[in-house]
Amino acid sequence: MFDIKWIRANAEAFDRGMARRKGEARRAADLLALDDARKAVIATLQDAQERRNALSKEIGQAKAQKDEARAQALMAEVAALKDTIQQGEKQEREADAALRDMLAALPNLPLEGVPDGADETGNQPYFGPNGSETTAAASRPAKPELSFAPRQHFELGEALGQMDFEVAAKISGARFVVLKSHLARLERAIGQFMLDLHVDQHGYTEVQPPLLVRDEALLGTGQLPKFEDDLFFTPHGDGRLALIPTAEVPLTNLVRESIVAEAELPLRFAALTPCFRSEAGSAGRDTRGMLRQHQFNKVEMVSITTPEASIDEHERMLGCAEAVLQKLGIHYRVMALCTGDMGFGAQKTYDIEAWLPGQDTYREISSVSVCGDFQARRMDARYRTAEGKMGYVHTLNGSGVAVGRALIAVMENYQQEDGSIAVPAVLQPYMGGLTSIGGRS
């Protein structure tokens, strides 16, 4: 959410940034016109209120002095203002709402340095703030060398009899899956491992958040008002609650409507939760396998920082997500998303794409974004310095990483010629010591 004052002071930068955003025709002039109209309404209203207040005060004094005649005269005088004030209040509400609605529908402005582009083809490889392709390659696991034609995860899973899309469809329809036996445990092991990593080694506080949230929370992080179609809702009383599309929503809203002492920052939260997405706009895409499901598990990281610290925190968070793949031994690449591929609330986003041998391609497994004060303004999340100065916090979120997609990556990268799957060393403790799924033991 933008501050209209900021737009007024930075109209040119605002227009330049919005022009880079796909499909954003909104210009500063449109918003400033609304704001001007709003101010005019306020000026008129306040003028009338000021006169009313003064006269009402006199009425109080007259009454106190038992001067009924004077009180009556004053009341008659002020009565005339009543209609003006009520009209004005109504107009102010309408003007506020008009401006607020327009501001709430605006996406965040891309940071300097974010590549321009219309879609994912405009994304660029990223090797770290001071990195190169060579330095990055040194810290990233290599592609597995498979001496046979690799299979896709669903082929492996179905052959094992531990991944069942048909029965899931009978129960819940398309885009659901049933995992059983060792694959079910592998799913749990991956989530557990990743959450432990972030909590034990990366300084995140483990959180068990609500999975059903109010519209206000979704407005705060930016899923509403524009992306209602992507969400599942359930009726609740006279209203509704949404199933979280990502734990970013409850984790970020942890600081909503609050003022955090600067000394408390950064706050780092991590959670392992199911996520629910209607995938309304992706009919026909990735229909095979469990790459794109209505329900999936994800470890999410959220950081709340000062404005000064958010850019460094972004790099740090990317590192936390990368560590997962490094420890799992899965080859990946990092892409800096272009303006056309970034999410609504992001100033800058890195995607981590895991190598999937079965698909012979890279697929997104994590997305790490810095949002600046965009969400903080929507949530009214502020911080106060030791000197008492207040400002909006900066928020960041990143997957660390998507559990279902990590399962796919493990399966495809650790598959053996006989269709069994080796269990990565770091997961074995979480698998009761199991070293292979489907192999002869």
Partner RNA sequence: GGAGAGGUGGCAGAGUGGUCGAAUGCACCGCACUCGAAAUGCGGCGUGGGGGCAACUCCACCGGGGGUUCGAAUCCCUCCCUCUCCGCCA
Binding residues for ATP: 277-279, 364-367
- Would you give the binding string for RNA spanning residues 139-168, x where CB under 7 A is met? ------------------------------
CA-wise closest residue to 174 among 274, 297, 279:
279
Q: Which residue has the tokens 């990368």?
A: 322
DSSP alpha helix (H) spans, 202-267: 215-221, 248-252
- Would you give the binding string for RNA spanning residues 44-73, x where CB under 7 A is met? -xx--xx-xxxxxx-xxx-xx------x--
Give 174-191 as a DSSP string. SS--EE-HHHHHHHHHHH
Q: Which residues in 171-195 are b (16+ Cβ under 10 Å) and which e?
A: eeeebbbbbeebbebbbbbbbbbbb
Report the residue number, 54 or 118, with the smaller CB distance to RNA: 54
Chain residues 80-109 in contact with RNA, contact rule CB under 7 A:
81-82, 85-86, 89-90, 93
Q: Is 416 helix (H, G, I), strand (E, B) or coil?
A: coil
CA-wise closest residue to 230 among 221, 239, 238:
221
User: Which part of the chain contacts RNA (CB under 7 A), choosing from 76-84, 155-163, 279-287, 316-324?
Assistant: 76-84
Report the residue number, 61 or 172, with the smaller CB distance to RNA: 61
Q: What is the dihedral of CA 326, 327, 330, 334, to 10 degrees?
A: -30
Q: Which residues are catalytic?
A: 277, 292, 364, 367, 405
- Smallest gap, in angstroms, from Cβ of residue 64 to RNA? 3
Evaluate whether 214 touches 320 at the Cβ level (below 8 Å): no
Report the residue number, 71 or 321, with the smaller CB distance to RNA: 71
d(CA 435, CA 441): 9
Report the residue number, 6 or 417, with the smaller CB distance to RNA: 6
Query: What is the total count of residues that contact RNA (CB under 7 A)?
Result: 34
- Would you give the binding string for RNA spanning residues 225-264, x where CB under 7 A is met? ------------xxx-------------------------
- Residue 370: count other Cβ atoms within 10 Å of its Cβ: 28
Query: Residues at the annotated binding site for L-serine?
Result: 246-248, 277, 300, 397, 399
Distances in whole angstroms, Cα of residue 78 to Cα of each of 23, 86, 87, 138: 51, 13, 15, 79
Report the residue number, 29 or 259, with the smaller CB distance to RNA: 259
- Please pick, from the candidates 29, 33, 43, 174, the single residue that binds RNA as defined by CB under 7 A: 43
- Smallest gap, in angstroms, from Cβ of residue 110 to RNA? 25
Distances in whole angstroms, Cα of residue 430 to Cα of each of 46, 107, 201, 326: 66, 41, 17, 17
Interface residue list for RNA (CB under 7 A): 5, 39, 42-43, 45-46, 49-50, 52-57, 59-61, 63-64, 71, 75, 78-79, 81-82, 85-86, 89-90, 93, 237-239, 390
